[in-house]
Amino acid sequence: MLKIKRLYVFMLKTFLPLFLMTFCICLFIVIMQFLWKYIDELVGKGLSVDLIAELFFYAALSMVPLALPLSILLASLMTFGNLGEHFELTAMKSSGISLIKVMKPLTVLVALVSVAAFFFQNDVLPQSQVKMWTLLFSMRQKSPTLDIPEGAIYSQIPGYNLYVKQKDPNSDKLYGILIYDVSSSSIYPRIVVADSGSLSMNDKKTHLILSLEHGNWYEDLATGTTMTNELGNEMYRREAFKFKEIIIPYNDNFTRMDDETMRQQYIGKDIKELRHTIDSVQARVDSVGDMVAQEMRALPTVGVPTTRFDNDGKRLKPELVKPVSLSKPVNFDSLVASMPEASRRVLYSAAISRLKMEKQTQEFKSYAMEDDNFVKRRHEIELQKKFTLSLACLIFFFIGAPLGAIIRKGGLGTPIVISVLLFIVYYIIDNSGYKLARDGRWQVWQGVWLSSAVLLPLGIFLTKKAVDDSAVFNADAYRNFFRRLLGMHQTRHLTLKEVIIDEVDAAVALDKIAALRQHCLDFLAKYPGRQTYLEYLQQGYDKATLRTLSAEIESVVDYLSNSHNQLLLNKAMDFPIVRQLLTYHPTNYRAVGTALAVVFPLGLPLYLVGTHHQSNLKKELTTAVHVCDEIKGILTAE
């Protein structure tokens, strides 16, 4: 027990520093992504450092759900990759400690992190998102800091375009001033030209004060009055001044919005508030739907009212009128056909107009319901996301830990590449599911849980393969699998053994080689030519003989692998690998083969592929005969 407890402490000490480091790195990356996204709305507005720091603090809290799963994936991958790379994981397994026991302390730790993530999503995240978006919208509305350039038109003052030819950097004096005032409703701007001037702000920072010297004011007065129409000319205003002050409304203060506006949105609510809003919106949608349904049922049917009315035109009874029973069905087509052509056109035109009007009415009503359904879906998505983060942490741990044990690569190279690729896949799937759920194309739970449903089987698969020490990323295993699947030739690899217990006896080896050579020749003599169509489908090659040949070849190669002669080992590698392909003998039942032969479109492709594989098999056995002769020469020379 003491050994296990020390193991737990060792695993926690190994994992925690990596987890904290990767979490900080991932959080920094997503904050930088947030900064680049909104940098245009923050730069040039004279915001104080404490406001920027406050925004980044709330943004960091809001980005935790994005950084936490990635950091767990990367930390678990690096932890078990380092253990595998330094053979520490192999030592644990050789001591009788399974991978599940090694993962046990970290599983408990990640489970606690998942529980904490749930409470963070429910209690902390809504408040941080409210603060972040409130600050961001407040910063968007703040006017930019005045920085008038030389020789360029400055248009950041609402309603005014300002051109300055030259600026004095010591006294902030402006020279060659040209102002276009487009704040009025007139189609012509007011133009002010001044030799020099200065720009200042009032004490409350709510207005700009332009102090101009030696200039002119040009303005086109409003036209269309009685006097100007009688005169037949437009009126102009030109004013020359030595000194003039222009006061422009310009609020340079930072005004923080009220948090209550954002708090009413779905991002600012916890589980209880989200469920309350969903129930309220659903009740409103149901009420509107019932009302629309009642109105549609109350519409006249073929011109016959569906409700009763008294003489005063008031509704007599609220219930619907019972349908009138007919002795025989009415043939409306014959009735319409008996009408005059002009009457039919009027009837069709009235029906089309009625349908268009009714369609527009129902579409207008559906818009209001669609808005409510959209609000309901957004709240349901936010409610489901309270739980997805916790499950995502567990899933990424059970992907990263076994994956690190399989690839056995630590450091920041391979783990970062694999983690980023997996997280990109997760992000794409999660974002696609979110959009499908938001737009109402899928059910909300289907879209929100799509990423978890896709990655959970991957985590289970990798954990099982890591526990069983399966070669998931062994390229040779996949290459041989596809070679067997496609019937391609496989190669074997032999290396010189450092310690050999059973030495190769030349006489025994020659006997084995001679027997193998004769068996290959017997098989080739038994099937000298290409089988006919019917012969192939009914008989094929003898599978029992092929299994015996394959086992004999492997036995010979295994015996020769104990040799110290590198030339003999190289020649033994030339022995082919006899595969047990289905195409050598399609069926064990003669009747099934006859049936395949009768069904020509199915039997012919199988015959062509099978006889090609049989031809390759005979080439391999011919190669085995030649290798036997060459090995005999090597053994005889010794």
Cα dist. 432→380, 389, 392, 442 in Å? Answer: 16, 17, 16, 11
Q: With beta carbons less than 8 A apart as the criterion, state whether 158 and 142 touch.
A: no
Task: For residues 266 and 197, give the distance between their C-alpha atoms in angstroms, rounded to a whole number.
Answer: 51
Q: With beta carbons less than 8 A apart as the criterion, state whether 167 and 146 touch.
A: no
Task: For residues 491 and 575, give the distance between their C-alpha atoms in angstroms, rounded to a whole number.
Answer: 9
Average pLDDT, stretch 538-560? 87
Going by the DSSP 8-state scheme, the letter that residue 584 receives in this structure is G
Q: With beta carbons less than 8 A apart as the criterion, state whether 134 and 259 touch.
A: yes
- The pLDDT assigned to 279 comes to 87
Over the stretch 298-316, which tens digit does the pLDDT of each residue have? 666 665 566 655 555 455 4
- The pLDDT assigned to 301 comes to 63
Q: With beta carbons less than 8 A apart as the criterion, state whether 398 and 459 touch.
A: yes
Task: For residues 391 and 72, give the distance between their C-alpha atoms in angstroms, rounded to a whole number.
Answer: 12
If pLDDT is split at 50, 70 and 90, which confidence band does 116 have?
very high
Beta bridge partners of 217: 192, 239
Average pLDDT, stretch 234-261? 74
Over the stretch 49-96, which tens digit does the pLDDT of each residue have? 888 888 888 888 888 888 899 899 888 888 888 888 888 887 887 778
Over the stretch 193-224, which tens digit does the pLDDT of each residue have? 888 888 777 776 677 778 888 888 888 765 44
Tokens of 525: 């003599």
Is residue 112's pLDDT more than 90? yes
Task: For residues 417 and 404, give the distance between their C-alpha atoms in angstroms, rounded to a whole number.
Answer: 12
Listed by start position, the domains of the chain span: 2-141+384-467, 153-249, 479-637
Cα dist. 601→212, 265, 591, 596 in Å? Answer: 96, 64, 17, 9
Task: For residues 537 and 609, give the distance between their C-alpha atoms in angstroms, rounded to a whole number.
Answer: 12
- Indicate the burial class of 360 (C-beta count within 10 angstroms; 0-12, 13-18, 19 or more): exposed
Cα dist. 234→23, 230, 256, 272, 561 in Å? Answer: 70, 10, 47, 67, 110
Is residue 385's pLDDT more than 80? yes
Contacts of residue 543, Cβ cutoff 8 Å, sequence gap at least 6:
580, 584, 585
Over the stretch 18-60, which tens digit does the pLDDT of each residue have? 899 989 988 998 888 888 887 776 766 667 788 888 888 888 8
Average pLDDT, stretch 347-374? 81
Per-position DSSP letters for 404-449, written without gaps between them: HHHH---SSSHHHHHHHHHHHHHHHHHHHHHHHHHTTSS-HHHHHT
Task: For residues 20 and 75, give the distance between their C-alpha atoms in angstroms, rounded to a whole number.
Answer: 8
Average pLDDT, stretch 601-614? 80
Q: Give residue for tokens 């276009």.
A: 180
- The pLDDT assigned to 318 comes to 46
Looking at the chain, the whole-number percentage of residues with pLDDT higher than 70 is 82
Going by the DSSP 8-state scheme, the letter that residue 233 receives in this structure is S
Per-position DSSP letters for 6-30, written without gaps between them: HHHHHHHHHHHHHHHHHHHHHHHHH
Task: For residues 610 and 590, give the distance between their C-alpha atoms in angstroms, rounded to a whole number.
Answer: 16
* CA 201 from centre of chain: 50
Average pLDDT, the chain: 79
Over the stretch 145-199, which tens digit does the pLDDT of each residue have? 566 778 787 777 777 888 888 887 777 788 888 888 877 766 667 888 888 888 7
**Lowest-confidence region among 293-297, 507-511, 579-583:** 293-297
Beta bridge partners of 162: 154, 179
Q: With beta carbons less than 8 A apart as the criterion, state whether 130 and 263 touch.
A: yes
Task: For residues 559 and 481, give the distance between their C-alpha atoms in angstroms, rounded to a whole number.
Answer: 25
Q: With beta carbons less than 8 A apart as the criterion, state whether 224 and 262 touch.
A: no
Length of the chain equals 638
Is residue 475's pLDDT more than 60? no
Q: Calculate the dihedral angle through the C-alpha atoms of 26, 30, 31, 35, rounding to the nearest 10 degrees.
A: 150
Task: For residues 442 and 381, give the distance between their C-alpha atoms in angstroms, rounded to a whole number.
Answer: 12
Closest C-alpha among 156, 200, 199 to residue 177: 199
Task: For residues 342 and 353, give the distance between their C-alpha atoms in angstroms, rounded to a whole number.
Answer: 17
Helix (H, G, I), strand (E, B) or coil at 201: strand
Task: For residues 546 and 51, give the distance between their C-alpha atoms in angstroms, rounded to a whole number.
Answer: 80
CA neighbours within 13 Å on the CB side: how many for 8? 11
